[in-house]
Amino acid sequence: MGHEDSAGAKDSPKIVVVVPTYNERDNLPVLVDLLTGLGLPGLRILVVDDNSPDGTGAVADELAADPAGVVEVLHRKEKDGLGRAYVAGMTRALDGGADVVVQMDADLSHPASRLPVMIETLFAEDAAVVIGSRYVAGGSLATEWPWHRKALSAWANFYVNAILRLRVRDATAGFKAWRASALKAIDVSSVRSNGYSFQVEMNHRTVRRRLKIVEVPIRFEERVAGQSKLGLGVQIESALAPWKLLFGKNGR
């Protein structure tokens, strides 16, 4: 593709921000305003809604009806996991000619204001992916988080890195800017993990191919509205995932 291996933003790379949603009707319009307010040329937002009972899909359709044409919606019939939603959205973005694909939560925990720095770093550092990281110098977690949640997050990163030797400070982070060429190289359409383990598998495949990962600091906020979707099943899958990646048929 024309832009993705160029030196910078002069070419105005086509940037697609993939935002999976499930019951995020209050947060989604705020996020879209924040992203469109960044002034990034070539920015598009792809909402992947899993048939949210609260009507998020209808809100997304209203946003997509704006003549500016910045928002697109991919409706899925059922809720079958964050990983599946991201794979569907990323595949759609690549098929649509994206040069850069961003993955980002809808709950406003990821600071949209850091996205221009992440995009700039992607090209300046010739990276495959730039991670918005809580655990590099300058990064931080929401002060509202209780100590045991902070401890669990830190332990998860230590645990994943100890097993897979990723050398990524924030291995479970969900705020990332990818080059299209990197997503193709790691064969994103074949990723089967869900939850946090999706993030881990994506990093693992990137490291296995000796592609460059760069981390930039972010402040991770507590979600503004709605409920967290981190259930016990997701936690168990996340604990098993590194071992499956280490010993399984992975990282094509």
- How many angstroms separate the CA atoms of 211 and 29, rounded? 35
- Measure CA 51 to chain center: 20
In the prediction, which pLDDT does 199 show? Answer: 93
- What's the average model confidence in pLDDT over 94-123? 97
- What's the average model confidence in pLDDT over 126-155? 86
- How many angstroms separate the CA atoms of 25 and 18, rounded? 16
In the prediction, which pLDDT does 245 show? Answer: 86
Task: Report the percentage of the chain scoring pLDDT > 90.
Answer: 67
- What's the average model confidence in pLDDT over 84-107? 96
pLDDT higher than 90, residue 241: no
In the prediction, which pLDDT does 230 show? Answer: 53
Q: How confident is the model at residue 153 (pLDDT cuts 50, 70, 90)?
A: confident
For the chain, the average pLDDT equals 88
7-16, 61-70, 114-123, 216-225, range with the lowest pLDDT = 7-16
In the prediction, which pLDDT does 1 show? Answer: 35
Say whether 177 sits in a helix, a strand or coil: strand
Per-residue pLDDT reduced to its tens digit, 163-182: 999 999 999 899 999 999 99
Contact 26, 59 (CB under 8 A): no
The structure tokens listed for 117 are 């720095």
Query: CATH second-level architecture of 11-247?
Result: Alpha-Beta Complex (3.90)
- Measure CA 1 to chain center: 22
Torsion of CA 167, 171, 174, 178, to 10 degrees: 30
- What's the average model confidence in pLDDT over 143-151? 75
Tokens 């509202």, residue located: 144
Contact 188, 90 (CB under 8 A): yes
In the prediction, which pLDDT does 235 show? Answer: 61
Angle at 72 between CA 177 and CA 95, to 5 degrees: 60
pLDDT higher than 70, residue 233: no
- What's the average model confidence in pLDDT over 78-103? 94
Per-residue pLDDT reduced to its tens digit, 29-44: 999 999 999 999 999 9
Angle at 69 between CA 115 and CA 104, to 5 degrees: 30
- What's the average model confidence in pLDDT over 128-137? 95
